[in-house]
Amino acid sequence: MKIDLKIPTVGESISEATIGSWAKKDGEFVKRNEILMSIETDKASVEVVAENDGVLHVSTPAGQTVKIGAVVGFIDTEGKATANTATVNVSAAASAAASAFDKPATPPPSQHLSPAVNRIVHEKGLDASTIPGTGKEGRLTKGDVLAASSPAMPVTVTAPTAQKTPAPSPVLTPRGPSKQGDKKLVPMTTIRKRIAERLVQAQHTAALLTTFNEIDMTKVTELRAKYKDKFKEKYGINLGFNGFFVKAAVEALKEFPAVNAWIIGNDIEFHNYYNIGIAVSTEKGLMVPNIKDADTLSLAGVELAIRDLASKGRDGKISIDDLSGGTFTITNGGVFGSLLSTPILNSPQSGILGLHKIQDRPVALNGKVEVRPMMYVALTYDHRIIDGKEAVSFLVKIKEGVEDPERLLLEI
C-alpha cells in the first residue's frame, strides 16, 4: 500500500514551503512517528513525521519550494528497503579508491615527455626515471634535464674585500593563486526572504525614529551576584539581564499603551495584553518568538520562558504560535559586543527596545566621578502613533525600573 507524503498545513496565511532537508534517504525503511524531513515556511521550520511504517520514496529533493498540500513522496508499507545496499556499494567503491590511492606512483614513462625534453634526454644519454621532475604531476621540464646533464661547477673562495656590496632588495612573491572572480550564488531560504521583506516593509511603511538613553546597571549586577547561585539552585537556570528588562518593559507599556499598539488602516489597535518578543539569532536567521502574557509571569517565569524559546529557536522547533501575537520586541545585540545600534521595528508593532553591551564607564555622581557598569539602550518607534514625548518617557520608565530592581519586582 502506498501512502502519499504531503506538505502539511502550518498556518492560515502560509501557502508554500521549502523542503529544508530530508532526515531519511530515498529507499530507506522508516517507522511511524520518525522524522522524515524539515520544511521551512516564511515564519518557522516544521518537522514532518511518518504516519506509517514502510519504505520511503522521495520525489522532491531538498531545496525545492512547493505548495501546501503538494505530494513530495510516498511510503510503501509493503516495500523493501534499498538504501542500505546503495550505502554498501558506495563504501566498497570508496575502499577500492583508497587502495588505489595508496599505491606508490611510478615514474612517468618516456612517451609522456615533451618533445624538447625527450630530445635532450636522448642527446645526453640520460635516464629519465632517475631525474626528479619539478613540473606538474612530477613531470620533467627542460630545466630539470639540463641541470642533470650539466657538470657541477667548482666553487671559488675569494678573500673578502673592504668594500661592502649592497644587500639584494627583497622580492615580494604572491602567497598563492589569485581568488579574483571566485564567488558563488546561494539561494535565500524562505525564512531569510521573509525577514528581508518584513524589514524593508517596516522601513517603507512606518515613520521610524530612535531615541537613546543609558542605564546604570550597578544594582542589577549586585543583585545578580548576590542571588545567582540560589536562583540557579532553585530554578535550574542562570539569572540573566533580559528578565529585568522584560519586567521593566511591561510596566512601561502599562503606562504608555500606545507603544503596545499598532496601526491598522486608519485605526489604532490597542492591546490589553503584553506579549513580549525576544529576538533570537539562529543558523537560519533572526526569529522573534513571544513570551505570551508576560505581565502574569514572575522574574523566574520570564527567564524560563526565554530559555525555552531560545532553545526551540536554535533547535529549529519554533512553532507558528510561538512567533505570532507579539505586541512589543526586545533585541539584545550586547551579547555579540554591540555598543550602540538602531533596531528596526518588527512590523506591525510600533516599538522595539535595543539592549547593548555593559561597559565600565566614568560617570558623574553627586559631584564625583565614579566608574559604573553602564548600558546604552535604544527605542525605535513608529512616530505615526507615538509622539516623541511618549517615547522618551517610556525609555526613562524602563531606565528607572532597571536601576531600581527591588521596586521593579515589587511593581510599585
Q: Which residues are catalytic?
A: 383, 387
CB neighbourhood size of 234 (10 A): 10
What are the distances in angstroms from CA 392 to CA 180, 218, 299, 338, 381? 49, 22, 25, 22, 10
- Burial of 341 per CB tally in 10 Å (0-12, 13-18, 19+): middle
CA–CA distance, 9 with 68 (Å, rounded to integer): 6
Cell 531560504: give the residue.
189
The CA-based dihedral angle spanning residues 276, 277, 279, 282, taken in that order and rounded to the nearest 10 degrees: 130
Q: Are 196 and 42 in contact (CB under 8 A)?
A: no
CA separation for the pair 37, 75 (Å, rounded) = 13
**Under 8 Å between Cβ of 380 and 352:** yes
